Amino acid sequence: MSLQQAITDFRGQFRGVVLEPGDAQYDESRKVYNGMIDRRPALIAKCAGVADVMAAVRMAHANGLAVSIRGGGHNAAGLGVCDDGLVIDLSAINYVRVDPTERTVLVGAGCKWSDVDHATHAFGLAVPSGIIASTGVGGLTLGGGMGHLSRKYGLTIDNLLSVDMVLADGSFVVANADENPDLFWAVRGGGGNFGIVTSFLFEAHPVSMVCAGPMLWNLEDAADVMKWYREFITQAPEEMNGFFAVLGVPPGPPFPEELHLRTMCGIVWCYQGSIEQANAILEPIRCYRPPAFEFFAPMPFPMLQGMFDPIYPSGLQWYWKADFFKELSDAAIEKHLEHAAKLPTWQSTMHLYPVNGKVNRVGEADTAFSYRDVVWSEVIVGVDADPSNAGRITDWARSYYNDLHPFGAGGAYMNFMMEEGEDRIRATYRGNYARLAAIKAKYDPTNFFHVNQNIKPAG
C-alpha cells in the first residue's frame, strides 16, 4: 500500500485532525515554542483521545515513519516535531480533574501547567511544576520538573502517582507503584523514551496564596548577593524558594523606566507562609545589600506561575546550555560575573534553580532522575526575537557554559538541553543509565521512540 493510501485509511479511523503539507493549518501546527526549530513532518496527527494515540502509533509502525511526541511544544531542542515523520500531537487531550478529598489531580497529556494551576487553585491546591505556566505538563514531568515548590515538595515526578501509556506496539498500559513498576520508575526522569503518556495522576498540596516576586540588584552587588545566597538557600526553611538569575530588565511595568533593559542580577522568591514571616526571613539581605528594585507581595500561586509568560512569547530564538552544581565557589562567581556583563540581549538569562530540600531526600536510584545530591540546576539561555541574532546568543551561551562547566557536577537537567549526544545523556543518568537501557529494551526494543534525549535499548 502506498503512503498516500495509508494516510487515507488512517484519516478514516482517526477522530482528531490529520494534517499534511499543503493543509491550511499545517504550517501553524508544525511550529514549536523555540523559533530556531523549523522541521517539516510528513504528517501531524492531533489526537482526540487514547484511541487516536494507539491508531497513530500503529500507523507509524506499519509505514516506517519516525514519531515525535508533542505535549506543550516547549522542548528546548524542539523534540516535539520531526522532519519527514509523524507528529503525535496530544494538545487536544486537555482535561483536568481535581479530587479535593484525596488531593489528587488527573491531567490529560495535552495540558499546559496554566490549565492545571487554574483547576487546582479553585480547591486551594497546587502540583509542583516549573516557573512558566505555558510549559507543557508532558515533557516537563517526564524529564523531572523543577520550580517554585521543589524545595518543599520535591520534583514534579516526586508527586506523580500513576500514568496511562501507549507503548511502541500500540498497546495500552498503566504504570504506577503496583502495576509495571519498572516502567513507572523509568518515566520519572527518563523522558519520552518508553511510550506515550496519555494521562498523569498527581498528588497535590495545600498551596493557595504565596508571598512572591523578584528582587533586583545592580551587577556591582552581584558577587556579594551570590555569596550571601549560596549560604542562605542551603539553610532557609523549605517553605522559602528563591532562584538566582542574571537577567535584562523587561522594558515595561512594574519595572521603573530607568532600569529598563539594564543587565542586573535577581532572586525570584516564593514563600509559602505569611508576609510577616517572609519579611523576617528576607530581612538580612534587605539590610546587607538593599535591592535596587523589588516586587515582592502576597499573590495567588497561579499569578506567580504566569508572571514571566508575557516576557517569553512563543516563537523567540532560544539556545540552551545546562549543568548541575553542588557548590558555588568564589571562582565560579567570578566567571558568572564575567559572562553576565556580556549578556547579548535582554531576554537572554542564566538561572540557578535550587534543587535541594525535599528533592535531595529522594534516593538517586529511587527514580530515573539521578542527580539527587546537588544544590542547583543551572540553565543558560541565549534568547532573542531576531533570527539574525541566533549566532550571537548561541556563542554567548556556549562560552558561558564552557567556563562554568568545570565547576559542575557532571550532568545536566535533560529538559534544559539541546541535542548534545549520547555522552551527555549518559552523564545525566549516571548509574541509572544501564537500568534505563534495560527497561527500554523491554518496552521499546526497536527504539521506535527515538526523537527525544535518546536512551538506546540495551544489547
Q: Which residues bind ligand FAD (CB under 6 A)?
A: 32-33, 68-76, 79-80, 90, 109, 130-132, 135-136, 138-140, 142-143, 145-147, 191-192, 196-197, 312, 415, 451-452
Strand arrangement, sheet containing 43-46: 17-19, 43-46, 86-89, 67-70
**Cβ 70 to ligand FAD, closest distance in Å?**
4
H-helix or E-strand spanning residue 393: helix 390-404
CA–CA distance, 108 with 96 (Å, rounded to integer): 6
Query: What Cα–Cα distance (Å) separates residue 47 from each residue in 86, 145, 165, 176?
Result: 12, 24, 14, 24
Q: Are 132 and 142 in contact (CB under 8 A)?
A: no
By beta-carbon proximity to ligand FAD, the closer residue of 202 and 312 is 312
**How is residue 404 written as a grid cell?**
562554568
Strands 43-46 and 86-89: parallel
**Cβ 27 to ligand FAD, closest distance in Å?**
17
By beta-carbon proximity to ligand FAD, the closer residue of 125 and 270 is 270
Q: DSSP letters along 42-83, please? A: SEEEE-SSHHHHHHHHHHHHHTT--EEEESSS--TT-TT--S
Name the DSSP letter for residue 205.
B
**Cβ 236 to ligand FAD, closest distance in Å?**
19
**Cβ 199 to ligand FAD, closest distance in Å?**
9
CA–CA distance, 195 with 175 (Å, rounded to integer): 11
By beta-carbon proximity to ligand FAD, the closer residue of 32 and 50 is 32
What's the first-to-final CA gap in the chain, in angstroms?
33
**Cβ 6 to ligand FAD, closest distance in Å?**
23
**Cβ 12 to ligand FAD, closest distance in Å?**
25
CA–CA distance, 89 with 365 (Å, rounded to integer): 31
**Cβ 426 to ligand FAD, closest distance in Å?**
18
